[in-house]
Structure 1
Amino acid sequence: MAPGGKEDKTMQKGGSECFKLSFVFLLLNISSFVVPVTGFYMKSCHISYNNAICTKSNLDAVPQDIPSTVESFDLSENKISIIQASNFKNFPVLTQLDLKSNFIKQIHRGAFADLISLKKFNLNDNMLVVLGDDLFQGLSNLTELRLKSNGIKSVSSTSFKSLTSLTFLDISRNKLYHLTKVHTILQQLPNLRELSLESNNLTTFYSWELTNSSLKLTSLDLSQNPIAVFRITADVFPNLTWLNIGLPSSKKTQMKWDIRNKTFLSRVSTLDVSGLKINNDTRKMLRENFNPSLTSLRMNKMNNTLLTALVNVSCTIPTVSTLQLKHNNLHYINAQFFQLCINITEIYLARNNMKNISEDAFRSLRGLQILSLTQNKLPCVPAAIRNLPTLQKLDLSKNKIKTLECNDFTNLTKLRQLSLHQNSISALKECVFKDLIRLEVLELQNNSISKLEGAFKIYLPNLKQLRLNLNELTAIRHGEFAGLQSLQNLSLNDNHINVLENGSFLGLRNLTDIQLNANKIDEKGLRKGFFHDLINLKTLDLRDNTIKYFESVALPDPPFSKLSHLQKLVFLGNNRRLKSLLPSNFLQGLTNLLVFNARNVQLLSLHKDTFTYTPQLQTLDISANDLMDLSPELFYPIQGLLSLYISTTSLQSLDFLIEANLTKLEFLQARKNQYSVVGEKVIKSLPALVYLDLQGNSFTCDCDNAWFKSWAVINKQTQVYDAYNFVCNYPSNLKGMKLLDLNVRSCTVDIDFIYFICTTCMILLFMLVSFTYHFLWWQLAYAYYLFLALLFDTKLKNKQAPNQYDAFVSYNTHDEPWVIRELLPKLEGEQDWRLCLHHRDFEPGKPIIDNITDAIYGSRKTICVISRRYLESEWCSREIQVASFRLFDEQKDVLIMVFLEDIPIAQLSPYYRMRKLLKRRTYLSWPRAEAHPELFWEKLRQALKTGEDLGEDRFLLNVVAGP
């Protein structure tokens, strides 16, 4: 409110509201030392590398405690049914959102409007039956959208209009039924390249129903739709290269093809007609319409079709190089089956229940490079493959092969990958791989091999990956792999190996990764130094063996002393039943080790010199041991540690971290231990910590944990995983209560007593201010203005200056028209009174309250123009206060009240000062003077003219009754 009543709507109660807001903010600042109100912990999710993971969390709504910096948000497999408009308001850098497998039925308009960076969006397996207007508003940068299995029946003409950058759309397994609904979608997506319409119960495909213009689609999936007629009369797919039009296997009717021009589908390179019933006309159609560019043809589950004829007709298309013939029950293949397939380079024959193949079945396949015979019933390696000298990849996995003979792979000198896993092979022969001089990958896992018999001593000079896991091997003999000088990855896990001879890995100088886990290797094997030949090894997995040590005395010949390039050593699960130790120099030689995993080996302690030899260590896992206590000295050599796992170690305290000086530690997992208090010094000793996992500990709910509780909520750097579910175990009366529900108001926030005293004084001071404001405001205001009045009166007496104005006019800005049009012309224009008006006579730059005081005491009288707006105004209230104080102080007739409205007494009751004045003084009423305005102005003139005796004023104004 400006002087004299000048105000706007936002300032009517500015004084009191401003004070209240200031008071609230101050209390919040004070309480931040005691009770935090925000923070970085989440109830149902966790953050990993800027990815928010909330999957399978039983959520029924989108959580609102996710940091705005996440780039990926996984909410799959929950129970969310509605997406609110406010759910994703603050994720400016989110690029991937996964909402699949929920119960989403409704999405509010604008729910995704703020996801300006989103690229990939998954809404598969929900219940979005209807896609409403502008459903994806704001997703202008989205490139991939998945809406599979939603039961979608209806699509608005504006549902997809915001998706101007979309290139991939999967709307398969819905209920679109008709191609016109697909047209509604396509006309909104100018840049769509890949479209999947699988299983939408489309019964016809007419190109004119789809669109009247060319589309940019390069991939179209129409599979599993019971299309009876496929008719294209215009070149609507000028860029299409991938087409799947396979029918459901239960479909009995034959599809009718009608392609009016041979060029309409001439660019298709991959065609899937699986499940179609192919007759002579259809074969002719395939040859005529897909001839120019077709390279890959998929004909799976071709029931009731003469497959031999179809294959040979397909092979007459000169560009076709790949045939996929899965699930066709081809029990036997003879020479006629691929007779015309001289240009084929890839054949996939999986899951055909094949038991036999004619020796000359592949004779015509002169350039075959890839042959897949997986998941059949072949009892041995087919002799037919010996006629494939160009073969580069052969898959014989998941058959019933029991033995491998020396001539099984004759002539396969160009073979690079051989898969024989999940057969019944029991032994190898030395000569079995003699011709495979270019082989790089050999998969023999999941067999029953018990002996290698020198199969890898001489041959396979280019082999890089060898998988022998899940077999029956018991021993690795000297030089067993001597011929594999190029080997990089060796999998021997899940065997029964208990004998490792010296020189077992002789010749494997290029090996970088070896898996020896889940065997029966003991510490005696390690003592022989059989790893000394693996000088370039980077990963060694020894988990779940029987290696055990019972003292920490240094070993004379450390097992890894030659492995200076090793980066990862996995030792977990050894000696689970007996308590053990590690020799102090167990890790000697591992100068570049980055990861050491010794989880669950029943360690009682770790020697302080254990990690002296691993200065580069970044990840250490010693969980599930009986360590009970850890020395800070243990960590002095590994100051670059980034991740530490110490769960289930019976630790009594984390205080060792205070002196460990792990300033770079980012990840700490310390679940299920026996400490109940996490101190401030512990947390502050880990300045780089971004993830803290303390699940399963029994916390003490008292002031010892007050700082940790507040920090877990307030800090913005470290994610305290599952903090919402931390449970108190002590004291007994709070057992079962959640730690974050602990009331810490009574706890000392800071150990420095001065802080406590300052905080207490601030609280008491503002409590006093609040009490004074609510209960003693009138008395304080009276005293203040009385003091001002005394000062002003003294000043006037000293100066003995006459009054500058006849009257000061106090009014509200809404009543200004009456003052200007009625009051001013009468009193100044006709009666020559000198009036003081705020907008005209106040001194610029002077404080408002001083202007008001000077105007009232510098005028003989004060005219208060009263209305309902006047009563509600804070500044008007102050003006009448100063006038009434002058009245009480000087005992002079200085106040004239003019009512512009009839205001009942009931409405005056909240305005204490006004009601009090009306009980003691009379007033003028403008509404009652409308019939005789001359009388009103005459009375007002007489009131201004009279002296300052109170009795005289009562006589003059007594003609008007009180309200």
Structure 2
Amino acid sequence: MTVTLRDVHCNTMANPRPSIIRIFHFVHIFMLILGSGIPYSLENEFVGNYSNSFLSHVPRLLSSKTTVLDLSLNNITGLQIKDFKSLPKLRVLKLSHNEIQYLDISVFKFNQNLEYLDLSHNKLWKISCHPLMNLTYLDLSFNEFEALPICEEFANMSQLDFLGLSATRIQKSDLLPICHLNLSHILLDLQRFHEKKEKLESLPVLSTKILQIIFPPNRAFSVQLDMSVNNVRELGLTNINLDDDKCSIFIDFLSKVMNNLRFLNLTLHNVEITWKCFVGILQFLWHKPLEYLFIYNLTLVEKINEEPFIYYETSLKGLKIELLTNKVYLFLQTYLYQIFSEMNIKMLTMSDTALLYMLCPSKPSPFQYLDFTNNLFTDNIFQGCRNLSLLQTLILQKNKLKHLSNIVHMTETMMSLKHLDLSQNSISYNADNSNCHWAESLLVLNLSSNELTDSVFRCLPPSITVLDLHRNKIRSIPKEMSSLETLQELNIAFNSLSDLPGCDTFSSLSRLVIRYNSVSRPSAHFFNSCQNIKSLHAGDNPFLCTCELREFSKNMATLSKRVVSGWPSSYKCAFPDSYKGTQLKDFHLSPLSCNLVLLIITISITGLVLMIVTIFLCIHFDLPWYLRMIFQWTQTRRRTRNISIDKLERTFQFHAFISYSELDSGWVKYELLPKLEDEDIRICLHERNFVPGKSIVENIINCIEKSHKSIFILSPNFIQSEWCHYELYFAHHKLFHEGSDNLILILLEPISQYTIPAKYHKLKALMAQRTYLEWPTEKSKQVLFWANIRAAFNMKLALVEEDNDTEIR
């Protein structure tokens, strides 16, 4: 790309009129934002980008629709008609940085729509011309032309706006074809220029808004041109090397070029100069019709002495010096500072100059804008200075400032100060220091990238409207801070805040940036108190996605994208791990899991329904009876399996002895006995197993002793039988003394406790424990009843044969 001064007006110290340079710079950028080497459509343009593709010739088979073609940074040595004949719609062609030596412009005779042609940085030494009536941009600079490559056909190029030229010599006749054209921008590359020793020839007057001249680098300035220009608004000069002897030559050159000009912007780039010459040039320009002077990459050499300077009334509004290198190491600092501090202009910028200090003006100064970015200023700057009462903007970015209280004291006398930039220093604030009297006019304060903590909120200008505190060490905003009722914009990104600040102390807040903090659980108080918010950027925080975040996410989603910056891509869950990386818009939890009252109501209703269902089942299906029977079956099976067979290998002759009332014998004989004996269970009955001749009591005891189990059929008839009572007594006595579980109680019919006589206290106790089996009248329940009976017997039990004397024949 052509090395020019097209960017020198992108300054922050002033608002000069829009530069035509920027327009052409934009065109260059547009040309460079191309994709691969394959043509593609960009809006209404069909673009082919072959830049830096190691080409030695123009590619073949280009699309006839191509309107923009970039062939820069290749090894193309020549051009032919056939290269572009098939491109009738071609409008923009870049051929810079190639190896082209000769150009016949007639190769573009079939490209009548061509408007932009860049042939800079080649090896051109000769061209043959052909009229291109629609050409608006032609750059032939940085080539090897002996004379200016201006053809007579250029005189008819009325659309031409930019013209870049290079030559080793300039003659009057070379410029005649274009002297009548009203160009916007002329670039003269004179890096290979040879000075004339004969008398200077007066060159024709050119008309252009921007004149840019690049002189030979690393060579003392000696170019002598009798050049006059009309309508110039911006003059850019590059590579100026001056000692005290050559200083007058340069001033003479400026005098001729600036003659009869009004309101000029002058840019000097790559200047190596003595201090004496520098002051002399400033003095020369001070009474010229100059509005803005920009100096980039200034180097001071030889020596710095005190130089007189008369501050005439001047049209100069602003001076900008960026990147100052001082190669003079022994000098009195005052000589340097005083020249600048006493200037009677409105705007002064001295950035990247390594200045240690700046003097306070000796009298009331007209300075309204001061920019001292990237210097070495300390807290002592402008302390007690009362002559900057008109100053509105002060930029002290990237210096060595440390104590906020000293800076506050500095601003007290700046009665008009509105904008103060203290970013990228090492400023801290001690809350114990009571000095916090800012300039009352201060509206914009930038304290970003410092060492400030929460205490800074106790020392802020009360009238502030814009506050930038990003990249500090702030953890919270104190509740006892002073109210900032006029604050409209707050940038507190890249700190350690854990919540969004409410607007109780920022009643006018409309823009908040709090990204990259530690906000995990933002409270709803922010939305309740900040009704005037128009822009919010709270993304890139470690959000904890729980129930508390649902309300915040809902509020963010309802706000328009114009209000919430970065939504939804910058708003993601960081915790818990199951939601990590999920965007807040996709994070959902059920209302039931997040509403305690609703959860309690739901559980209560569910429990109530279950209870009603349970009661219904119990009533309709007699569920408690089934549960009790199953429990008893389980317990019986467990006890039966836990009794060792060895313990049972005694003299049992029967599995069970049955005791019942004669009134219940029908059920025993026709229901119980058939079921048990079908299972090979041997039963002892008094009717067939009592031994004749023995007493009833003796027979009862004998049968109980010879039986492993004792089954009692309980009914109202049972409690009326005296013998049944004896049998139960002896069986229970065996249970108590031997520790065996040999009782099986079957409740044939319900028995009320109050109907059981007091003498049957053992029966009452057993009935109270509900250790009996109930005989169900429903057929469906009888299966479970018989299963419980069978489970009570150990079928592996080996029984002895009955004695002959006990058998009943």
Q: Specify if TM > 0.5.
A: yes
- Percent sequence identity over matched residues? 17
Q: 1:316 deviation in Å?
A: 6.5
| Residues 702-723 of structure 1: per-residue CA shift (max 9 Å, x gap) | xxxxxxxxxxxxxxxxxxxxxx
Answering whether residue 319 of structure 2 is matched by residue 338 of structure 1, we say: no
Report what 1:559 is aligned to.
526
2:277 aligned with 1:307, yes or no?
yes
Once the 2 structures are TM-superposed, how far is the Cα of residue 498 of structure 1 from its aligned partner? Answer: 1.4
CA gap of 1:83–1:271, structure 2 versus 1, over 3 A, is same
| Correspondent of 2:573 among 579, 590, 602 | 602
Residues of 2 paired with 1:455 and 1:89: CA distance?
75
Rounded to whole Å, the distance in 1 between the matches of 2:86 and 2:53 is 18
1:353 to partner: Cα distance:
3.6
Farther off after superposition, 176-185 or 623-632: 623-632
Matched to 1:443, the amino acid is D
Q: Indicate whether 1:361 and 2:318 are aligned.
A: no
Cα shift at 1:556: 6.6
Superposition deviation, residue 211 in structure 1: 3.3
Structure 2 distance, partners of 1:183, 1:499, is 71
Report the 3-state secondary structure (helix = DSSP H, G, I; strand = E; otherwise coil) of the residue aligned with 2:208. Answer: coil
> 2:448 maps to what in 1?
469
1:494 aligns with 2:471: yes
Conserved? CA contact 1:335–1:363, under 8 Å = no
Check 1:359–1:604 CA distance in 2 against 1; reply closer, same or farther (3 A cut): closer
Query: Aligned-residue CA RMSD in angstroms?
Result: 4.6
What displacement does 1:463 show?
Answer: 4.5
Structure 1 residue 534 displacement after superposition: 4.2
Residue 373 of structure 1: how far off its partner (Å): 1.6
Is the 8 Å Cα contact of residues 568 and 593 (structure 1) preserved in structure 2?
no
After superposition, the Cα gap between the structure-2 partners of 1:52 and 1:568, relative to the gap in structure 1 and judged at 3 Å, is: farther
Whichever residue aligns with residue 518 of structure 1, its letter is: F
Q: CA deviation at 1:505?
A: 8.1
Correspondence for 2:348: 371
Return the letter of the residue paired with 2:463: L
1:350 is aligned to 322
The answer as to 2:173 corresponding to 1:208 is: yes
Aligned to 2:630: none
**2:274·2:303 contact (CA, 8 Å) conserved in 1?**
no
Query: What code does the residue aligned with 1:471 have?
Result: N
- C-alpha separation between the residues in 2 aligned to 1:518 and 1:103? 48
Change (3 A) 1:360 1:510: closer
Whose relative contact order is higher, 1 or 2, with alpha carbons under 8 Å and at least 6 apart? 1
**Counterpart in the other structure of 2:426:** 448
Relative to structure 1, is the Cα distance of residues 478 and 229 closer, same or farther in structure 2, using a 3 angstrom cutoff?
closer
Cα distance per residue 1:600-626 (max 9 Å; x no partner): 74346999xxxxxxxxxxxxxx99438
Shift of 1:233: 4.7
State the Cα distance separating 1:387 from its structure 2 match: 4.3
Distance verdict in 2 for CA 1:530–1:627, change over 3 Å: closer
How has the CA–CA distance of structure 1 residues 482 and 71 changed in structure 2, closer, same or farther, with 3 Å as cutoff?
farther
Counterpart amino acid of 2:429?
K
Query: Is the 1:363–1:388 contact (alpha carbons within 8 Å) kept by the matching residues of 2?
Result: no
Q: CA deviation at 1:215?
A: 3.7
Residue 497 of structure 1, CA deviation: 1.5
Q: Answer whether contact 1:414 1:436 (CA < 8 A) is retained.
A: yes
After TM superposition, the score normalised by the length of structure 1 is 0.48
Alpha-carbon spacing, 1:517–1:128, altered in 2? closer, same or farther (3 Å): farther
Distance in 2 between residues matched to 1:534 and 1:71, nearest whole Å = 50
Kindly state the Cα deviation for residue 253 of structure 1 after the two structures are TM-superposed. Answer: 6.6
Amino acid of the structure 2 residue aligned with 1:436: M
Gaps of 5+ in 1: 1-50, 550-554, 608-621, 635-963
From the superposition, tell whether residues 477 and 399 of structure 1 become closer, same or farther in structure 2 (CA, over 3 Å). closer
Match of 1:178 among 131, 146, 154: 146
Is residue 422 of structure 1 aligned with residue 422 of structure 2? no
Residue 296 of structure 1 deviates from its aligned partner by 4.2
Q: Is 1:403 matched up with 2:373?
A: no
Partner amino acid for 2:53? K
Alignment deviations for residues 225-244 of structure 1 (CA, whole Å, 9 cap, x no partner): 13233797566334235433
Q: Aligned AA for 1:195?
A: L
Normalised to the residue count of structure 2, the TM-score between the two structures is 0.56
Give the one of 221, 227, 232 matched to 2:193: 227
Indicate the residue corresponding to 2:513 in structure 1: 541
Deviation readout 1:470-511 (Å, 9 max, x if unpaired): 2111225445434234x24x3322222213213758325352
Residues 38-94 of structure 1 show CA distances to partners (whole Å, capped at 9, x for unaligned) of xxxxxxxxxxxxx9999586x3x324xx44744585948663736557645447xx7
Whole-Å Cα distance in 1 between the matches of residues 361 and 110 of structure 2?
57
Q: Give the structure 2 partner of residue 613 of structure 1.
A: none
What amino acid sits opposite 1:546 in the alignment? S
Pairwise CA distance, 1:376: 1.5
Distance 1:504 1:112, change over 3 A: farther
Name the CA shift for 1:213/1:421 in 2 (closer, same or farther; >3 Å). closer
Q: Paired residue for 1:584, among 550, 562, 565? A: 550
CA 629–531 in structure 1, closer or farther in 2 if over 3 Å, else same:
closer
Contact conserved, 2:224 with 2:253, CA < 8 A, in 1?
Answer: no
Looking at structure 2, the residues matched to 624 and 390 of structure 1 have their Cα atoms a distance apart, in angstroms, of 55
Provide closer, same or farther for how the CA distance between residues 507 and 55 of structure 1 changes in structure 2, counting only shifts above 3 A: same
Q: Are 2:218 and 1:250 aligned?
A: yes
CA distance in 1, matches of 2:135, 2:435: 54
Whether 2:163 is the aligned partner of 1:191: answer: no
Note if contact 1:415-1:438 (Cα within 8 Å) is conserved in structure 2: yes
Give the aligned partner of residue 157 of structure 1: 129
Equivalent residues in 2 for 1:10-89, closer than 5 Å: 59=36, 61-63=37-39, 66-67=40-41, 69-70=43-44, 75=49, 79=53, 81=55, 84=59, 87-89=62-64
Structure 1 residues 134 and 448 mapped into 2: Cα distance closer, same or farther (>3 Å)? Answer: farther
State the AA in 2 paired with 1:109. F
Residue 521 of structure 1: aligned partner: 497
1:383 alignment partner, SS class: coil
Match of 1:712 in 2: none
* One-letter amino acid matched to 2:88: A
* Residue 349 to residue 559, structure 1, CA distance change in 2 (3 Å): same
- Residue 469 (structure 1) shift: 1.9
The verdict on how the C-alpha distance between 1:282 and 1:374 changes in structure 2, with shifts beyond 3 A counting, is: closer
Q: Which position in structure 2 is the counterpart of 1:319?
A: 289
**What is the CA deviation profile of residues 488-541 of structure 1, one whole-angstrom value per residue up to 9, with x for unaligned ones?**
4x33222222132137583253524x3322211123xx3xx4444445545433
Once residues 552 and 585 of structure 2 are traced to their aligned partners in structure 1, the CA distance between those partners, rounded to angstroms, is 21
1:253-282 deviation line (CA, Å, top 9, x unaligned): 7223345xxxx4465454445515435455
Q: What is the rounded CA distance, in whole Å, between the counterparts of 1:562 and 1:175 in structure 2?
A: 66
Q: CA deviation at 1:425?
A: 1.0
Structure possessing the higher radius of gyration over alpha carbons: 2
* Structure richer in helix, relative to its length: 2
Aligned partner of 2:474: which letter? I
Looking at structure 1, the residues matched to 102 and 451 of structure 2 have their Cα atoms a distance apart, in angstroms, of 57
Aligned partners of 2:349 and 2:44: how far apart in 1? 42
The alpha carbon displacement at 1:290 in A equals 2.8
* Residue of 538, 543, 548 corresponding to 1:571: 538
Distance change (3 Å), C-alpha of 1:584 and 1:193: same
What SS does structure 2 have at the residue aligned with 1:431?
helix
Moved more, 465-474 or 235-244: 235-244
Amino acid at match of 1:164: N
CA shift, 1:448, in A, is 0.8
Q: Offset of 1:404 from its aligned partner?
A: 4.1
SS in 1 for 2:389: coil
Structure 2 residue runs of 5 or longer lacking an equivalent are: 1-28, 327-331, 592-809
Deviation at 1:154, TM superposition (A): 4.7
